[in-house]
Structure 1
């Protein structure tokens, strides 16, 4: 028992580091029933993320069916590998060794990232890049410090920078970080960029659990069956015990 307690205390620092910095997360407010949002998210993912990150545990055909995308449109606009078929798994062509050499670590598969990190974390993360010339790709991230990933959505957002406000603390002026602000060079304004990120997060949330809505619908039927079965059982019990009483 004493050894177990010692091991737990030894693990506390590593667990704290794994938890990451205590950054307040913004609500993604994703809606898996919004097909238009999911379609836009799939388009953004395939155009900006799929070059490095795969979702190798789902298939093009399943995504097209679930999101209401005709198979021909899927093949023409969202399948970039000329050798890939509509029924193939969604893997990309970047070699693991090349990705590790370029980014410091292999680019992780994102099929389950929304279940591992949470939709709010991803939404906040993608909106928390800021310019940092000291980093290899010229950007850093508030949620994930010393991030090895480039800001792939920069052409949409523009060049983001940290914003500080001067406040008095104990009579001294202190620069306090208040948020991220783009320079306006991107294709989208702040509201439009946030909407694109929300759609992308919505797609990743769908990828992590494609059956979630179906499971929830089935759950209502199951609960209804249990209620009806309980009532019938109660009535049957009263019928059996009527003669006893």
Structure 2
């Protein structure tokens, strides 16, 4: 055979595809168990059996339910009882603002979280009430009426004050579901929020000290400091991240990370925020990708024609 280049190309491509489609997936399957998504259905949690009353839910959340003793609802004019650092030092982590809880979190998860936090979060291995290991969030035992109705009312109220799913931005979803434990340094995000611009260095250092103190409290609560998520979208697959958010115990049994309980839509927005953080030029790159591929194809055609013209007398 005079021209062996096509044969060599075929062999190289064949071995590359063999490695990519067979060897690498097999190795990955042996090292990392595949976890199927449950589509954020939370089948282990009971569905709400009652229709909620928003007005009564508001009275419970802001009154007898005791929610605003720890949680803020800024959009309703209800600030947090203590600052984020003091809250973390008291509870282990700063309780989230409840303004968007009704759109970020699944309603079944919210209902179970109100009644049995450790069960909803899947951290009963860490907080075993029978051994006196109580979760920092106090369960709601009812306000004198039908507890299922009262919980449904509270969930209805939280859903009524939240923005719509279309109005929920990726950053809002991340901040609410993940941002109180995970920093994102490439987004200038700390567990206390976005780091402000300070005029004086001593003010910046004072803020950094507060972050370190928050992280110290968080580490004591979780067992280790939750990782910075700036580059996680590039180091983990989207499927892994999605199923890990859905049920951390399925990937890492015994982990201290709680189940987040977000809706499927909110999870997609969290992943979108992670993707944007890990690759700030992603949208720009994707927009020019098609033009680059067209250029490569045209260039390859001309290169092939030129090669045939130059080499035609040498074979």
Q: Give the TM-score category using the shorter length.
A: 0.3 to 0.5
The structure carrying a bigger helix percent of its residues is 2
TM-score by length of 2: 0.38
Larger Rg: 2
TM-score by length of 1: 0.47
